[in-house]
Amino acid sequence: MLGFAARRLVVAAFLVWVVASLVFLVIHLIPGDPAELLLAQGGVAPDPATVAALREKLGLDQPLLLQYRDHLLGLIRGDFGLSLVDEHSVGAEIALRLPRTLELVGLAGLLATLIGLPLGVLAALAVGRAADRILSAAAGLALSVPVFVVGTLAVLVLAQELHWVPAGGYVPFAKDPLRHFTLLLMPAGTIALGLAAAVLRVTRSAVLEVLERDHVRAAQARGLGPAAIVRRHVVRNSLTPVVTVLALHLGSLLGGTVLVEFVFNYPGLSGYLVRAVEARDYPEVTGIVLVISALFVLLNFIVDLCYALIDPRVRHG
């Protein structure tokens, strides 16, 4: 088991290095010069001598290979470098924003499970009847409406018309816990809507499949009540695909909450990444993508370990 874990860890480290190098290369290859952009804000003409001075100051005049070496050496030291725009520490900014994104994604996942799971079981138990049809239709609708539509409508109705909640923003938990959660609820709810629909669908089909299995029929034959069967023998056995789907979605949300962040003015990691790309802020882009992909790789590593624990054949495969 230990050998297996070590092998997977080496592969994971290799993957992170590949991602780091690819991102570094791609962001440097696409057109756009951070120095030029930095001096060209607000649609005015930068002086070429000033641009050259800034490029030199930022180290962008160095050969790409040298910049790559410095970048890798920095990463090994755990140093993501400084923003080209305002010399702010990239590592510190990621440390500030990553927890916000994790909180947003986490709450969205929790809400989605709380809503999607029971409704999915309900739909499966009522298969073919009105409740099932209504729930399935609602899930279809929730899945097909883009988050920015839901978000914009939520702002319009809840903030602008009803004045129930502020129109987006962010307040640190330490400053005002109540407002912190009020502000978190709208973006999390918006993400949760589509996610809950996905959970509902997977749960429904998983439960339907388990209901057909022999052990359920055996339980019925033993004379167990329907509630006990569902609780003890159906739901637990249907959870595996639900967890897999949820984990997949949450993983992709790590870097994919940009629309929701934009609509609700939520200062998370994705919006930061988009702005970094727009400004061609190389250290920021490489730093953020590296952290997100490292989390992905870590997630996969853990999943691999779990499979190995469950099924010994994987260890020797």
Partner 1 sequence: MTAIALNRRAVLTGAASLPFLRIPAARARAPGVLTFGLSSYPPTLQPWANGGTASATIKLMIHRGLVSFGPDGKVQPELAESWSRDDDKAWVFKLREARFHNGEKVTAADVQWTFEQIADEKSTAYFRAEMQRIAKVEAPDERTVRIVTKQPLVTVPNWLASFHMPIVSRNSPKGGAIGAGPFVLKGQERGVSVDLERFEGYYKPGLPRLKVIRAVAYADENLRVAALRSGDVDLIEYVPWQAMDAISADPTLKLDAIDGPFMYLVFNGSRPPFNDARVRRAVAHAIKREELVKAAFFGRGSPLEHLPIPDSSAFYNAEFKNGWRYDPALSKRLLADAGHGGGISCSLLSTAQYGMHKDTAEIVQQHLAAVGINVTLNLPDWATRVNIGNRGQFDIGVMGNAAESNDPDGLAAVLDGSLAASYVRSFGLKIDRIIELMEAGRSTFDEGKRRAIYRELEQVAIEQAPMVGLTWRSQGYAMRKDVSGFTNLPGALTFYSGLTFETAATA
Give the binding site for partner 1 (CB under 8 A). 30-33, 36-50, 53-54, 56-57, 85-88, 93, 96-97, 152, 155-157, 159-164, 166-170, 262-265, 267, 271-272, 275, 278-280
Q: Among residues 24 and 282, whose Cβ is nearest to partner 1?
A: 282
Minimum Å gap between C-beta 87 and partner 1 is 8
Q: Among residues 40 and 228, whose Cβ is nearest to partner 1?
A: 40
Amino acid identity, position 193: L
Q: Among residues 87 and 311, whose Cβ is nearest to partner 1?
A: 87
Tokens coding 52 = 């050259």
Minimum Å gap between C-beta 169 and partner 1 is 7
Kind and range of the H or E element at 288?
A: helix 282-310
Q: Among residues 36 and 79, whose Cβ is nearest to partner 1?
A: 36
Minimum Å gap between C-beta 262 and partner 1 is 5
Could you tell me which of 196, 191, 188, 147 has the C-alpha nearest to residue 165? Answer: 188
Could you tell me which of 119, 97, 100 has the C-alpha nearest to residue 108? Answer: 100
Calpha distance 131→139 (Å, rounded): 12
Buried/exposed code over 68-80 (b: 16+ C-beta within 10 A; e: otherwise):
beebeebbeeebb
Minimum Å gap between C-beta 236 and partner 1 is 38
Q: Among residues 80 and 296, whose Cβ is nearest to partner 1?
A: 80
SS3 44: coil
Minimum Å gap between C-beta 219 and partner 1 is 39
CB 1 within 8 A of CB 267: no
